[in-house]
């Protein structure tokens, strides 16, 4: 038995594992904005677009925790380090 609740990072990892399409959308939209010449973008903008697109294009039901927004941006930068300056990163409070 665990004495403490799981961490936000553990919740994110579980969500990411169970919803791989979210990161595919995130990469698609981020790379699309880069392709249009944007050098700074908001990860929150991308997450909101994913919410919108999934809502109108599918019958899929899911919720993306707002706390995951920064973690998706960090995941993107891990995979595409050449775009490190694309997002503004702040120190994570708790993971």
Q: Model-level pTM?
A: 0.82
Is the pLDDT at 94 greater than 70? The verdict is no
Crossing angle (nearest 10°) for helices 43-57 and 69-79? 100
The model's confidence at residue 5, banded by pLDDT at 50, 70 and 90, is low
Q: What is the 3-state secondary structure (H, E, C) of the chain?
A: CCCCCCCHHHHHHHHHHHCHHHHHHHHHHHHHHHHCCCCCCCHHHHHHHHHHHHHHHCCCCCCCCHHHHHHHHHHHHHHCHHHHHHCCCCCCCCC
**How does pLDDT run across 41-61, given as a tens digit for each residue?**
999 999 999 998 888 877 766
Crossing angle (nearest 10°) for helices 43-57 and 20-35? 120
The more confident residue out of 92 and 45 is 45
Domain locations in the chain? 8-86
Q: What is the mean pLDDT of residues 73-92?
A: 88
Rounded CA-CA distance 45/86 in Å is 13
């Amino acid at each position: 038995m665990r004495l403490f609740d799981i961490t936000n990072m553990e919740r994110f990892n579980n969500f990411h594992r169970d919803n791989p399409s979210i990161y595919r959308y995130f990469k698609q939209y981020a790379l699309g904005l880069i392709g249009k010449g944007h050098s700074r973008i908001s990860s929150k903008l991308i997450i909101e677009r994913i919410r919108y697109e999934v809502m109108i294009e599918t019958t899929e039901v899911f919720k993306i925790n707002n706390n995951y927004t920064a973690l998706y941006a960090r995941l993107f930068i891990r995979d595409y380090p050449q775009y490190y300056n694309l997002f503004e990163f702040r120190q994570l409070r708790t993971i």
